[in-house]
Amino acid sequence: MLDFGMSVLPLARFQFAMTTIFHFFFVPMSIGLSLVVAVMETMYVIKKQKIYQNMAKFWGKIFLLSFAVGVVTGLIQEFQFGMNWSEYSRFMGDIFGAPLAIEALLAFFLESTFIGVWMFTWDRFKPFWHAVMIWMVFLGSSISALWILTANSFMQHPVGFKISSATGRAQMTSFKALLTNPQLWYEFPHVVFGAFVTGAFIMAGMSAWMIFRKQSTEFFRKSMRIGLVIGFIACLGSAASGDLQTRYVMNEQPMKFGATEGIYNKTADPAPWAIFQLTNPTKKTANAKIEVPDMLSILAYHRLNASVKGMNEANTSLHQKYDHQFGKKMNYYVPVNTLFFAFRTMAAGFGALAGLAVLGLWFSRKRKNTIGKQRWLTILLSIATFGPFIVNTSGWLITELGRDPWVVYGLLPISAAVSPSTSAAAVLFTNIVYFLLFLALASFMFFYAKKALYKGPESVDDTPDQKTEDPFSKEAFSK
């Protein structure tokens, strides 16, 4: 079989990273946009001002685009399990089956059915019932995320299973344990807040760009403000859930935590936090450090006096725990530089987005609205449209690369999960095809989003809805 001197494993891993990162551009985008559209339609129901309905219709178009591209990329994602990761599918099938089936049958169907009805019934339902539909779409997409993360959390922290002595596969023993997995309840809020950040800043950023272009400025100022309010609250939610997750990771996956902090040995007490450092994974040293004194003790333990264990200590305990099963040669060190900088990108992204939200809200307030004159701010906010994609990807790099060398933590090493019968040539070929397909989908998304944006809203009408009178009613005749 052709293999071009390459091996299947790195190619399959590259494919998984590429498809997952690309797919996860659209997942938080559609969850987040469904929320902002639902908020706008609810404001229309409450305030009865036409502009909010126009906003919901306008941003609804961008939401529908992201949903469509998300479905296509999700299908590609599924192909890989059978093609490149058949050993993983065989091992995990019994665990994965139930959550993924429920996701497809309940959550995805709920979401897609209501999207279909919502799209075509603007004039057929009362505003209240039409708004209920978009909330159902939002509910469906959030429940969808819950089921997918149930499966993902099992891979990080397996619970409610036994290994069958006959087949060597993981068998579910408790569905309840799967659903009450602590990993899930740390991960789910963080991912969902991240999705709200994404939808909100996409809307705020695109609106800021239109304010910069001086097109339908009042419509886009209002849209931007709604986006920034939701975005700011979601940033706070991301930081609070991220803080809880940090301490959970420190206890459950100390190697991952050590790598995000770039520490090899137990730190001094109190521990400084490195804003920047150059880590050498071969020599296991860190140089050129820029540190904030005591900060790591505060981040890790919320107190001023605490030391933190490093990767070397984690490595010793992992060998003690798993050597009898997986041998002494297992390498438990994870890609330290990627995790270290990914964590700082995520933290800096949070600070930058929250700060921009505050500035944007301040300069666009109704009484002293000068946002149109703050050209620098509208440019920064426009660039922020892309910020959540970078922040989310950084987060996932930590979560998934920090799980090395396992595909299912403590149970199945990555090297044992790959398909034995796939050739490097086949994986290389699909890598190229998927890459081209993603390029086409991204261009399509970008082109149509830009077209819809530049076309602008159908109307920027700001007047309250007039109650329409039935010309044959009693009241009409008595006037």
Q: How far is the CB of 400 from ligand HEM (least distance, A)?
A: 8
Q: How far is the CB of 189 from ligand HEM (least distance, A)?
A: 8
CA 167/CA 72 separation, integer angstroms: 34
Select 251 or 331, whichever has its Cβ closest to ligand HEM: 251
Select 114 or 232, whichever has its Cβ closest to ligand HEM: 232
Select 249 or 441, whichever has its Cβ closest to ligand HEM: 249
Measuring CA to CA, which residue among 7, 337, 384, 368 is closest to residue 231?
Answer: 384
User: Helix or strand or coil: residue 412?
Assistant: strand
Within 10 angstroms of residue 93's Cβ, the number of other Cβ atoms is: 14
Select 82 or 182, whichever has its Cβ closest to ligand HEM: 182
Residue 28, preceding bond cis, omega within 30 degrees? no
Residue 208 phi, psi dihedral angles, 5° rounding: -60, -35
DSSP secondary structure of 259-306: HHHT--SPPPSSPPEEEEEEEETTTTEEEEEEEETTHHHHHHHSSSS-
Select 217 or 392, whichever has its Cβ closest to ligand HEM: 392
Select 191 or 210, whichever has its Cβ closest to ligand HEM: 191
Which residues partner with 290 through β-bridges?
Answer: 276
With contact defined as beta carbons under 8 Å apart, do 80 and 11 qualify? Answer: no
Select 342 or 424, whichever has its Cβ closest to ligand HEM: 342
Q: How far is the CB of 265 from ligand HEM (least distance, A)?
A: 21
Select 301 or 444, whichever has its Cβ closest to ligand HEM: 301
Q: How far is the CB of 308 from ligand HEM (least distance, A)?
A: 14
Q: How far is the CB of 196 from ligand HEM (least distance, A)?
A: 9
Distant-in-sequence contacts of 7-11, Cβ < 8 A, 24+ apart:
7/424, 8/84, 8/418, 8/419, 8/422, 8/423, 8/424, 8/427, 9/414, 9/415, 9/418, 11/424, 11/427, 11/428, 11/431
Select 3 or 252, whichever has its Cβ closest to ligand HEM: 252
Contacts of 435 (CB under 8 A, 6+ apart): 18
Q: How far is the CB of 28 from ligand HEM (least distance, A)?
A: 7
Q: How far is the CB of 424 from ligand HEM (least distance, A)?
A: 30
Binding residues for ligand HEM, per CB under 6 A? Answer: 187, 190-191, 194, 197, 235, 238-239, 242-243, 245-246, 249, 256, 346-347, 349-350, 353, 388, 391-392, 395-396, 398-399, 402
Q: How far is CA 104 from CA 25, 99, 112, 230, 385, in A?
A: 20, 9, 10, 28, 30
Q: How far is the CB of 247 from ligand HEM (least distance, A)?
A: 9
**What angle is formed at CA 278 by the lines to CA 277 and CA 282, rounded to 5 degrees?**
135
Select 125 or 248, whichever has its Cβ closest to ligand HEM: 248
Q: How far is the CB of 215 from ligand HEM (least distance, A)?
A: 28
Q: How far is the CB of 159 from ligand HEM (least distance, A)?
A: 15
Containing 40, the helix (H) or strand (E) segment is: helix 8-47
Q: How far is the CB of 237 from ligand HEM (least distance, A)?
A: 9
Residue 464, preceding bond cis, omega within 30 degrees? no
With contact defined as beta carbons under 8 Å apart, do 407 and 155 qualify? Answer: yes
Give the torsion sign (CA, 301, 305, 309, 310): positive
With contact defined as beta carbons under 8 Å apart, do 191 and 237 qualify? Answer: no
Contacts of 328 (CB under 8 A, 6+ apart): 319
Phi-psi domain of 467 (left: phi exceeds 0; alpha: psi -120 through 50; beta: other): beta
Select 102 or 233, whichever has its Cβ closest to ligand HEM: 233
